[in-house]
Amino acid sequence: MGKLSGKVALVTGGASGIGRAIVGALAAEGADIGIVDRNAADARTAAEETARLGVRALAAPADVGDEVEMAGAFGAVTAALGDVDILCNNAGIDTISFLDDMPIALWDEMMRVNLRSVFLGTRLVLPAMRRKKWGRIINTASQLGHKGAPQMVHYCAAKAGVIGFTRALAYEVARDGITVNAICPGPIDTPLAQAIPQAWRDAKRAELAIGRFGNVEEVAPTVVLLASDAGSYYVGATLNMNGGDYMI
């Protein structure tokens, strides 16, 4: 029996990177897993691999910023696995541009995927969590939502929004037995980070107290803590595994 046996977790962006590590860590503790990701093939592969851990796992492909697709994905997960007890709003994108050159479309897409999706997913799970008087909502923000960074005004604004969303919602639902917290990873070696130009990556690595990017296995254990009964007194918190990039 794991710490999360009998619980249903849903992870957005769960087919790769940090999300894939979160899926594996939650499943290792006994949670059944719904994987929502726009990459249908990778989501199915992740679900098949997760099921080998002895839990139920379902791939539910969706564009996390689209209200109709998100509702369909959540409906598929709850129909197959039951009400969602643990929601990990993890899906995100990462691009760079100086503000002077930033197309409005680039700004809007960042907000849609990195912030609007958190609102959409959370709104879907809250009714059942309130009814059961138990729930865990864990949002993936970023240390850059605290610190800021050049060429990433849109990303930093979205992640700061996730942090603000987390704190405000924590006040609304804590007395219903629902905790809302955020993780703020620093630079993590994922496909998303690898797509950023090398010059930006090199400059960021030089800023880090630890002198290296993190790996996904250094992020996922914090999510397990927040998802479990051991994390029941974390309310509106932001936990920062960031290699010393921002110390708070």
Give pLDDT tens digits for 103-159. Answer: 999 999 999 999 999 999 999 999 999 999 999 999 999 999 999 999 999 999 999
pTM assigned to the model: 0.95
Task: List, in sequence order, every beta strand (DSSP E) within 78-202.
Answer: 86-89, 135-140, 178-183
Q: Which H, E and C letters describe 176-193, residue by residue?
A: HCEEEEEECCCCECCHHH
What pLDDT was estimated at residue 29? 98
Catalytic residue among 155, 171, 233, 234: 155
E strand spans, the chain: 8-12, 32-36, 57-59, 86-89, 135-140, 178-183, 238-239
Q: In what order do the strands lie in the sheet with 32-36?
A: 57-59, 32-36, 8-12, 86-89, 135-140, 178-183, 238-239
CA gap 79, 95 in Å, rounded = 35
Q: What is the predicted pLDDT for the residue at 191?
A: 80
Name the band, by pLDDT with cuts 50, 70 and 90, for residue 65.
very high
CATH code at 8-239: 3.40.50.720
Residue 225 has a pLDDT of 98
Q: Which range has the worst mean pLDDT, 72-81, 87-96, 188-197, 199-208?
A: 188-197
Q: What is the mean pLDDT of the segment spanning 64-71?
A: 98
pLDDT digits (tens, 9 = 90+) for 190-226: 887 777 788 888 888 998 999 999 999 999 999 999 9
Give the residue-averaged pLDDT of 75-104.
97
* Cβ-count burial 106-123 (b if 16+ within 10 Å, e if not): ebeebebbbbbbbbbbbe
Active site residue 233: no
